[in-house]
């Protein structure tokens, strides 16, 4: 079992910044991918960004150049720095931990971008 604890959501103005964190604990594998997905009201959950144990990253086109994902393997923690936030970034953001055998989700943290 892997437990994921997210933090850092909240309210930001358009053009502002927020930083999300997610720490994994429990039966941590040596190789795994951690990432962030989001789900806006009435929409499907979508990948925002993910990062492998070897620090390879993937970004949704909608966040490239604005969001940066990073990780600290010693702390089993992944971060999502979100800059130049837009109204359409409003969503519940979910942390994800996966490898070829398992797939875990955090409970989600709400990000609201509003003026």
pLDDT in tens, 41-75: 999 999 999 999 999 999 999 999 999 999 999 99
Confidence at 36, pLDDT banded by 50, 70, 90? very high
Asked if the model's pLDDT at residue 29 lies above 90, the reply is no
CA distances from 38 to 1, 44, 45 (A): 23, 8, 5
Query: What integer pLDDT is reported at residue 31 of this predicted model?
Result: 86
Distance CA(36)–CA(95), nearest Å, equals: 5
Distance CA(41)–CA(91), nearest Å, equals: 7
């Amino acid at each position: 079992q892997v437990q994921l604890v997210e933090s850092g959501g909240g309210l930001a103005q358009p053009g502002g910044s927020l930083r999300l964190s997610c720490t994994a604990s429990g039966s941590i594998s040596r190789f795994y991918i951690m990432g962030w997905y989001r789900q806006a009201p009435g929409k499907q959950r979508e990948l925002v960004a993910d990062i492998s144990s070897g620090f390879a990253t993937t970004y949704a086109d909608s966040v490239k150049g604005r969001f940066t994902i990073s990780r600290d393997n010693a702390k089993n923690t992944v971060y999502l720095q979100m800059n130049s936030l837009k109204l359409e970034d409003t969503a519940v953001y979910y942390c994800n931990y996966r490898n070829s055998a398992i797939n875990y989700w955090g409970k989600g943290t709400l990000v609201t971008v509003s003026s």
